[in-house]
Amino acid sequence: MAYCARRFAFACVACFGIISSVLGCTRDSEAPSDKPATTQPEMGASILSPNVPAPDCPTAAVSIPAVAEQAFPFTWPAMPRCGGQYMVIPGTDTATWTPLPSADAGVDASIPSNTTSVPTLDINGSNFNGVITPCATTLTEIARYFDNNPSANPDLMPPILLTDMSNPKLSDVVPAGSGLVGNVWLLRQSLVMGNGAVLQLHGTSVGGDVDTLLLRSDPDKAVADFTPADPDAYATVRAEYGGLDIQSTLITSWSWETPGMAPGPDQVTNDGRAYVEVRSQQGGADGGGPPQESRMEIGDSTLEYLGYHNGASYGVVWRIPTPTDGTLELFSVLHVYGDASNSHFLYNYFGGYTFGAYGMRFYNNEFAYNIGYGLDPHDSSDDLYVENNHFHDNKTHGFICSKRCQNLQVRNNISENNGINGIMLHSTATNWIVENNQVLNNTGGGIVLWDSSNNTIRGNVISNNQNGILLLAGSSNNVVEGNEIYGSSSYGLYAYIEDPSVAGNGHPTQNLIVDNVFSDGGTKAINLVNADQNTFDNNRFTGVTGTTVGIQASQGNIFRGSCVDGGLSIQSTGAGGISSSTIVDETSASVELDSTSVVVAADPAGILFDSNDHRPNTVSLAGSWLSIPGLSSSSIHLNQLPVAVLPSAGTGLVQVTSWSSSAAGITLWPGTTDQTLQVSFSMLQPSATYAILLGGATLASGQVQSNGQAQVDLPIALPANPDAGLDMQLTVK
């Protein structure tokens, strides 16, 4: 037995650093939320969580902390009209700022009627001696400066006009059967707001003048003074140090010059397409001046068939310029702003895209049928609120935020039927709260973390995806708590390396997965490949057939307090020269190991474990552990025993040789002289009398507590023959 003692002590030393650093970890408590519940958007059918049965085991409450909300909706400040400001007319006199008359002065004679050579209309607030005065304008006010009587030749139309559905001159552009109603405007050339100018695109239902805005989108069709390759052959609405205020309006691309195609939304994107964008910029001639920031507010509107594959032209875009100095400093001094609520983003290249955004709120919107992502905040888009939206039927991800996105609140959304993932945190996304979302029927993952850390994924229903939750590419220190994950075709939770070039060689590490329900999974409920030191606490498993947990080339992962019919089952293998080591603190578990794997059953309170080959437990002040080395074929069954042993000093070995509620046999191999063992028993007959004997002599006796427990401190000395050990008996009468 001396050899056995040395063997188990050595196995413990290899894992003890993990045991001591992980088993004792705690998390800060969180204050309960007093935030009222919000309702789901009614924009499409969705699957609700079924009543998933689970074993009767304790579950810690999932606390949801209150969070600071931003002011919403945004209120534009009072501004003068832009009629007395300036309009830049490239193509007429590009070197001159052409002053416009006041609102009552009519058309400026210096602007030719039926203008066809104007690639961009620039509306600006005043800039008097460097002092910017913002202004607001409408399509009606802008159109006043052009001949609004279209001729029979579409190429001679003014750049902006209010269409008349009964006008036969427009029958080839906006047919009477197009389904468009109300005030329908046609924009033939791009419109850019600058120097603080704000374009108000308000529907007639809210007192505005535009119910539908058609953006010309025939980029492969030459018009007067344009070449076919000219990107300005399609119209855009942009703000560059300005604003767009869109309320109760439909905005769509509109093509009417493509041979063989009826007029309608432009559904071809490989030759460019109309889009809407606001862009902030640095002031000054050399870009070193103060920030010149832009904003776009969208409410109760539909923006569809916009954008193509270009970072500034994805469809509906909020952005700052791409830094050119090789640093990220620009993101700390320049931002773009806005909100979108109660709106629909459909059939765009990306439903919505941000770059360098700050403090935006996306609330109660629909992002659907988009060619790429539903909503894609990007590069340092921080402190965003994404709530009550419906992401569905997008070709790739429903929602993704990529590259240094920090402090996002993603709550109460539905993301379903998307071509890849439902919700994705990508490339150093940090400090998010993703909670109370429904993530359903996505082709790839439900909620995916890729190289992202310090996030909380909590209280979500994640159903019928290929993988419920993915932890990838070095994602670490995340909390996955209180989620309901069921019907995954592959894995309920899958953690693997994917990209070894990210921090930590790409190993997902030190994540806490606690109080989740895994139900009706596919191959395995949990699968870990090159994922280290993750903790799985108090999770429930129902309807899981076969192996519960697969582990490959992963070290130091901990499983505690799982609630699963028949006990937790683990299959552990090494790969690529990397062994696997796992720590379990489970009531019951079966482990199947290859020759490179080891499992350590460990408990900080000293609860002892029994294996089907009755291996001794090592005990110390840090708790108990039982090491199971790699095996080539057979599996080991582990059960927690109703006995706990903690020595006063040093280490020792303990083996329970028999157990019942009225008698037990225990063999001890003390590690030091004059040890005192704190021995606790449970599951005894309440109020009965117990006695503990050693070598026939009574060491202690007493009465079992009403909860069936008894605890005694026993002084133990080394036996004369250490290899023989000390045989102790418990009797209960």
Two structure tokens written together for 293? 């920031």
Structure tokens given for 307:
């954008």
The DSSP line for 84-96 is GSEEE-TTT-TTS
**pLDDT at position 88, please?**
40
Q: Tell me the pLDDT tens digit for each residue of 349-403.
A: 999 999 999 999 999 999 999 999 999 999 999 999 999 999 999 999 999 999 9
* Domain range summary for the chain, segments of one domain joined by +: 81-382
User: pLDDT value at position 286?
Assistant: 66
Torsion of CA 120, 126, 132, 134, to 10 degrees: -80
Asked whether the beta carbons of 672 and 641 are under 8 A apart, the reply is: no
Average pLDDT, the chain: 80
Span 484-503, pLDDT tens digits? 999 999 999 999 988 777 76
Contact criterion met (CB below 8 Å) for 404 and 376: no
Do the beta carbons of residue 469 and residue 494 sit within 8 Å? yes
Residue 603, pLDDT score = 94
What is the model's pLDDT at position 134?
87
Distance (Å, rounded) from C-alpha 546 to C-alpha 515? 21
Residue-wise pLDDT tens digits, 16-28: 343 433 333 333 3
Q: pLDDT tens, 547-595?
A: 899 999 999 999 999 998 878 999 999 998 899 999 999 988 999 999 8
Q: Which of 502, 416, 513, 504 is nearest to 470 (CA)?
A: 513
Taking only the tens place, the pLDDT of each residue in 36-89 is 333 333 333 222 233 333 445 655 445 545 445 555 678 888 888 875 434 443
Q: In which region does residue 231 sit, left (phi positive, over 0), alpha (psi from -120 to 50) or beta (all else)?
A: alpha
pLDDT of residue 158: 65
Q: What is the pLDDT of residue 383?
A: 93
Q: Which of 502, 492, 487, 489 is nearest to 536 (CA)?
A: 492
For residue 426, give both structure tokens.
């990508």
The predicted structure's pLDDT at residue 119: 56
Cα–Cα distance, 253 to 242 (Å, whole number):
22
Q: What percent of the chain has pLDDT over 70?
A: 77
Taking the CA atoms of 361, 363, 365 and 367 in sequence, report the sign of the dihedral they define. Answer: positive
Q: Give the pLDDT score at 336.
A: 96
Q: Which residues pair with 304 in a beta bridge?
A: 252, 346
225 CB neighbour count, 10 Å cutoff = 12
Alpha-carbon dihedral 132, 197, 382, 353, rounded to 10 degrees = -150
pLDDT for residue 102: 35
Q: Is residue 242 a contact partner of residue 197, using CB atoms and an 8 Å limit?
A: yes
User: Which tens digit of pLDDT belongs to each residue from 311-329?
Assistant: 778 999 999 999 888 888 8
Which amino acid is present at 721? N
Please, are residues 276 and 237 in contact by the beta-carbon 8 Å criterion?
A: yes
Residue type, 187: L
Q: What is the pLDDT of residue 8?
A: 29
Q: If we measure between CA atoms, which residue out of 239, 198, 195 comes closest to residue 336? A: 239
What pLDDT sits at residue 168? Answer: 58
How many residues in the chain?
A: 733
**Segments of the chain scoring below 70 in pLDDT:** 1-72, 83-119, 128-130, 145-158, 164-171, 219-232, 284-287, 503-504, 631-634, 672-673, 718-722
The tokens for 171 are 């029958």
Residues 6 or more apart whose CB falls under 8 angstroms from that of 660 comprise none
Nearest to 376 by CA among 357, 342, 351: 351
pTM for the full predicted model: 0.85
Distance CA 675, CA 362 (A): 64
Rounded distance between C-alpha atoms, residue 588 and residue 575, angstroms: 27
- For residue 351, the SS3 value is strand
Looking only at the bridges linking them, the beta strands covering 337-341 and 131-133 are unpaired
Q: Which amino acid is present at 705?
A: Q
